[in-house]
Amino acid sequence: MTQGFDPETLAFYAKEAPVYTASGTGGISRHLVDFADRLVPGAQLLELGCGGGIDAEYLIARGFDVDATDGVAEIAAQAAQRLGQPVRVMRFDELDAEAAYDAILASASLLHVPRIDLALVLARVHRALRPDGWHLGTYKGGGQEGRDRFGRYFNFLAADEARRLYEDAGPWQEIEVTEGLGGGYDGVQGPWVRVIARR
């Protein structure tokens, strides 16, 4: 895996799109309100891996200009229906914007990027942010890459690994890494790592 994405994981989401997007009924991501509170009113925000569009819907309601994207066409179509606006189909390795966004959200999405490619993807995130722009990324923790029972790839970062990868990706003003417990689509509780970085 040296292409910035895992084909087996993308295939899972394409096949399971209706079920997966309907499963997100528990509300917005738990770190989203804190992240949104850091942003200036009307901020231009890119969401990487928007899933069913629940977080984007919240951000739009708060008055942000949200460019929602997902790497799977079937997922993007479901999100577009929810949001009533287009959702771009874009893999993380296809992000080529430069100083275009005030914030970039990647909630439980960059955790699917192969470890060998993650620093390069994070460098694209850094480049796409404007000066003083904010980024939120959340990852399943664990410290050793692998797959879940659905065959999805996860990079399973430990907190120190996450910090090192972000530091390698570019000169951030600040990087805040915290750990906690949480669940996911697989119903399994386990460690999570939250990264909030400011360019």
Q: Read off the pLDDT of residues 77-124 as tens digits, 9 standing for 90 and up.
A: 999 999 999 999 999 999 999 999 999 999 999 999 999 999 999 999
Domain containing 105 equals 7-198
* Residue 68 belongs to some domain of the structure: yes
In a domain, 107, yes or no: yes
> Does residue 178 sit within a domain?
yes
Give strand pairing partners of 140: 192
Measured between alpha carbons, how far is 99 from 72 in angstroms, rounded to an integer?
25
Any idea what the CATH number is for the domain that residue 64 is in?
3.40.50.150
In the chain, the number of structural domains is 1
Asked if the structure places residue 2 within a domain, the reply is no
Least confident of 121-135, 166-180, 183-197: 183-197
pLDDT single digits (tens) 156-177:
999 999 999 999 999 999 999 9
pLDDT of residue 25: 55
What is this structure's pTM? 0.95
Bin 65: left if φ > 0, else alpha if -120 < ψ < 50, else beta: beta
CA distance 61 to 68: 14
Cα angle 184-190-191, degrees, rounded to a multiple of 5:
110
The first and second tokens of residue 19, run together, are: 């079920």
pLDDT of residue 1 exceeding 60, the answer is: no
